[in-house]
Amino acid sequence: MPLHKGDDTFMSNKQFETFYWPTFRRLLLGMVDEGLVPFPVAEGAYNHRLEYISDMPKSAVVWMFDQTDMAAAKRTVGKVSCICGNVPVSIAYTGTAREMKEYCRKLIEICAPGGGFILSGGSTFDMARPENLRAMIDAAREYGVY
């Protein structure tokens, strides 16, 4: 579920709290009640939304983040949900393999302790450089083993 209209820049926290989150939360809980595991993709930055979206049943939702502070996401949403994403498309498309591996290493160090983290792009890597995808896989194998 792409959530690009709920990011920090699209509406105020008051608008998010009043109009967006209550309805979307009910939708997520309805999906959970039906035995599904929702996988919302928080496109853009959700730094001001983390406290709201952490109000979910434990282990019920997987949140994918694009440009969100992953340390903050781990401290909040990561207490109740699996988190993933945040590897930038810019590195995948134009960075070096070394930059990709280093970014992934740091992300794993921040998000992996205690489990509940999936290393992935913050968005689609449809035109990523193959050597950067290989570097991401190598980083996951080297640094991401629980």
Q: How confident is the model at residue 1 (pLDDT cuts 50, 70, 90)?
A: confident
Tokens standing for residue 3: 């959530």
Mean pLDDT of 39-67: 96
Mean pLDDT of 52-67: 96
**What is the crossing angle of helices 130-143 and 97-111, to 10°?**
30
Please report the pLDDT score of residue 43 as a whole number: 92
Q: Over 80: is that where the pLDDT of 4 sits?
A: no
State how many domains the chain has: 1
SS3 state of residue 121: strand
Report the 10 Å Cβ neighbour count for 104. 24
- DSSP code of residue 56: S
CA distances, 41 to each of 65, 67, 138 (Å)? 6, 11, 24
Q: How confident is the model at residue 6 (pLDDT cuts 50, 70, 90)?
A: confident
Mean pLDDT of 117-133: 93
Q: Residue 69's domain is classified under what CATH number?
A: 3.20.20.210
Average pLDDT over all residues of the chain: 95
Mean pLDDT of 95-117: 97
Largest CA distance in the chain: 45
Contact predicate 101/77, CB 8 Å: no
> For the chain, where are the E strands, in sequence order?
41-42, 62-65, 82-85, 117-118
**What is the C-alpha to C-alpha distance for residues 8 and 46, in angstroms, rounded to an integer?**
6
Mean pLDDT of 57-61: 96
Domain extent for 118: 4-143
Q: Over 90: is that where the pLDDT of 75 sits?
A: yes
**What is the C-alpha to C-alpha distance for residues 92 and 40, in angstroms, rounded to an integer?**
22
Q: How confident is the model at residue 77 (pLDDT cuts 50, 70, 90)?
A: very high
